[in-house]
Amino acid sequence: MAMEDFYAVHRNYTTKLVLHIRDSNGDNMRAYTESGIAMI
């Protein structure tokens, strides 16, 4: 989902999204752990 799409759907959303893009150098586990995403 593009940020523009997100804000088009959530017009009242006042907090801005900030994307932090990093190169995982092909290490998927490192990318996952550094993303800060909790998978439940």
How far is it, in rounded angstroms, from Cα 34 to Cα 40? 16
Tokens of 8: 């088009």
Write down the pLDDT at residue 14: 82
pLDDT attached to residue 38: 55
Residue with tokens 């909790």: 38
* Residues 26, 4: Cα–Cα separation, whole Å: 28
Taking only the tens place, the pLDDT of each residue in 1-40 is 677 888 889 888 888 777 777 777 788 787 777 766 655 5
Count structural domains, the chain: 1
List the domain range (segments joined by +) for residue 24: 1-39
Tell me which residue of 19, 39, 20 sits closest to 29, measured CA to CA.
39
